[in-house]
């Protein structure tokens, strides 16, 4: 073994020892300071869900501004929508409000994206009147 591998193994071993001894240092899911009815994990889930749900919105807005389907892949949005429906079901199974909420919104965003794509494709295929 060269010195780099020996050094990495030593660091890895120290990390394992430290992590095994830190079971009491794990944060516990407590009530949120924002709303006592929510747990801290739900607040983090709501924030994370907001970002991932609305990540597709700039492309949707650009498609509406261009009034064109150029650059849009409806398969990607349809596949995402199908799997987000599964996330909604998963959220119902684990009773997680953030998972349910944001994935319902994301399904709607993807539905609008696919609908807009087919609307603009149909409009682009129609013969233009002079």
Domains of the chain: 37-130 (1.20.1280.290)
Q: What is the pLDDT of residue 122?
A: 87
**pLDDT of amino acid 9:** 77
Q: Is the pLDDT score of 27 beyond 70?
A: no
Distance CA(100)–CA(97), nearest Å, equals 5
**pTM given for the model:** 0.60
Considering the chain, what is the average pLDDT of its residues?
78
Mean pLDDT of 36-58: 76
Residue whose C-alpha is closest to residue 103's, from 111, 116, 61:
111
């Amino acid at each position: 073994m060269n010195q780099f591998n020996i050094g990495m193994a030593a660091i890895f071993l120290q990390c394992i020892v430290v992590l095994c001894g830190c079971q009491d240092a794990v944060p516990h899911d407590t009530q949120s300071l924002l709303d006592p009815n929510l747990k801290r994990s739900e607040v983090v889930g709501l924030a994370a869900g907001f970002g991932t749900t609305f990540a597709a919105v700039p492309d949707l807005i650009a498609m509406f501004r261009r009034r064109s389907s150029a650059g849009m892949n409806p398969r990607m949005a349809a596949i995402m929508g199908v799997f987000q429906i599964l996330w909604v079901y998963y959220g119902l199974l684990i009773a997680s409000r953030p998972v349910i909420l944001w994935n319902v919104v994301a399904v709607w965003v993807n539905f609008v994206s696919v609908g807009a794509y087919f609307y603009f494709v149909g409009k682009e295929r129609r013969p233009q009147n002079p």
